[in-house]
Each structure stands twice: as structure tokens, then as C-alpha cells.
Structure 1
């Protein structure tokens, strides 16, 4: 838990230095790098321990994945990347719908968020502004970080005393498959 926090602090310090001296795309890259440890820390500390944190994190994770997949399907020319984006969109849409369907019984009075938080919106903005030559690498790096965060969140919550724990367990194999495929694509780049 300390490593992600320290990495996040280091990335934020790097971000501060880069914002004054680098191109906008370099700044975006540092922002993306900082988002991973911040998300991991959030998943470990709150999301995997409290229903009130699990629901918004799982919902926003799915929303981010769906939006990022849509952008990849529009911008990428890489067939493997587009195949992964299609799988991600399908699986995260199904996961989102399943969780929303469980909320009335599992967490009465709770609704899933309908918009991304600032961190995930920043990732989407960085995808949209990535140059054509850097898009695929930017997308795949974001996917690896996002799926590691999602695994931490869902694996951690899977043992909780909540009806949503079954949902957390059910999505882990698909997230693992997405991560393996993203890592294989990155290795081939």
C-alpha cells in the first residue's frame, strides 16, 4: 500500500516540474502515470472496504472503460487494439448494467454515478488529445493501469459481507483477461 502512495507522490512532483517545461502531450503522459498509483491507493484503502466507495469506483471504472474503448475504436488503426476495445466495451457495459440492477436490493437508496470523476475525465481528455502517432501507446498504458486498479478494487471487495461481493467476484476473470491481452499488445508494440 505504501508503494502506490509513494509512486503517486513522486508522479505528482514530476507533474509539477513538467507542467512548466514540457509539451502538453508530455504533461498528459505524466498525468496518466500519476493516475495509476492514485487509483490503486484508492482501490486498496477505501473501494475494497466500503460499499459506499466500491459502488462509485466500480461504476466510474466501467464508464471510463466504455468511453476509452469508444475513443480507441474511432482513433486506432491497430486491429488487435480495436479487438480489445470491443471486448472491453462489451464486458464493462455488461458489468455496469449488472451492478446497477443489483443496487436496489444490495444498497437501497444508492445510485451509481453518471459522470466520471476528475481523475478519470483527465484520462479521457488525454486520450482525445493524444497525437495519432502516440495514441495506441497512450491507450494501452492507460488500460494496463486501469485494469490493475479494477483488479485491486474487485478482488479486495470480493470478500466483503455484501451482496455486491458476488458481482465483484464475477467480473474479476474478465478484467484479468483484458489485462493479459493489453500486456500482450504492449509487448508487441
Structure 2
């Protein structure tokens, strides 16, 4: 009986050890425009996706320059969607637009957390905010009148997600590193759903 108890305790301890894990992150603000209203927006929040990504580090070969560029572009674009979504949460009047904005903040924060974990595993430094062009777009959105805001925001989301779907589709096929390719492929369906939703709302607002 004593031997059985010890064996059970050892198995439980082993299971707990296997299920534990930590993730680290890196950021390089020198390569991005540091948005003063909301930096690292996509990197905030707790999500179990980090633990999931820890188990995906299976391709040990160095990440190519093409893959690094995709990861950096994806991080900056995701930050933009979170920041724009937060602006829309406060300024949008239409309920469908507000709900869409909430989805943007939640989904892109989750994807950003996954990408941070992957980048840490691959020793890739991600931007912690947005690029200058994206900053200008966000500033323009913040200055949009209440009357025109919903349409301007959704038009921006349709444009952004068309670009994102195209880039993620290519990355899911062309990335050299298997883990980066898998993350792009896994994220792509959500981006396509976002685009479909944004286009439906855009049509309804006309």
C-alpha cells in the first residue's frame, strides 16, 4: 500500500512539472514609432495561448530574414488592430461596430501573445508598437468626427484585413521555419472571418 501511494505521488509530481512553463518576451522600440496613447497594446493581457505556443517550438533551424520580417510586420499590424479597436470601443455608435471592435481587441491580443511567445523561442525581436504609417492612420481615426467614425473605422478594417489575409496566406505557404508557417496557417482563418465580418458591416453602413 505504501509503495502504491509513493508511486501515485511521484506520478502526480511529474505531471505537474510537465504542465508548468514560462515564456519570455523581447521588444525593440527603436525600430517602431512609439504610439504615445497606447504602447504594447497587443502585448497586454493574460492568455493560455502562451503555454500552447511553448509546445510548438519544434523547428530548431534559424529563422530566415523573410520569416523575421513577416513576424515583425504581423506584430505591428496586430498592434494597430488592437489600438484602433480600443478607439472604436469609445467612439463607435453602431452596436455592430462596437461588437466588432471588441472582437478585434480580444482576437488580436490573443494572436499577439502567441506571436510574442514564438518570437522569444526563435530569438526574434518584435516591435512593441506600430510603424509610422500605422501611427498616422490611428491619429486620423482618432480625429474622425463622431458622425463619420463608424464608416471610417470599418473601411480601415476592411483594408487592413485584406492586406493581412494576403500576407498570412503567403506566409502559411512560403515561410521557411515550420513553426512560423504553422502559426500563420492557424491564424489565417480568424483573419478571414474578421474580413468577412468587416465587409458585411461595411455593406450595411452604406
* Common topology (TM > 0.5): yes
The 2-side partners of 1:88 and 1:115 are apart by: 16
- Looking at secondary structure, tell me which structure has more helix per residue: 1
Q: Secondary structure at the match of 2:127?
A: coil
2:154 is matched with 140
Moved over 4 A (4+): none
2:68 counterpart (25, 49, 52): 52
Residue by residue over 1:36-81, the C-alpha shift from the partner in whole angstroms, topping out at 9 and shown as x without a partner, is xxxxxxxxxxxxx811210111001110000000000000111001
The 2-side partners of 1:104 and 1:178 are apart by: 27
The 2-side partners of 1:148 and 1:59 are apart by: 16
Q: Secondary structure at the match of 1:50?
A: helix
Counterpart check, 1:116 vs 2:130: yes
Residue by residue over 1:112-156, the C-alpha shift from the partner in whole angstroms, topping out at 9 and shown as x without a partner, is 101211111011001100011111111011000100111111111
2:172 counterpart (158, 169, 186): 158
Q: Which has the larger radius of gyration?
A: 2
Gaps of 5+ in 2: 1-64
| Cα root mean square deviation, aligned | 1.1
Gaps of 5+ in 1: 1-48
1:168 is matched with 184
1:72 counterpart (65, 88, 92): 88
TM-score, normalised to structure 2's length? 0.65
The 1-side partners of 2:193 and 2:125 are apart by: 28
The 1-side partners of 2:93 and 2:156 are apart by: 17
1:84 is matched with 100
Q: Secondary structure at the match of 2:75?
A: helix
The 2-side partners of 1:104 and 1:72 are apart by: 31
Residue by residue over 1:20-48, the C-alpha shift from the partner in whole angstroms, topping out at 9 and shown as x without a partner, is xxxxxxxxxxxxxxxxxxxxxxxxxxxxx
The 2-side partners of 1:59 and 1:104 are apart by: 13
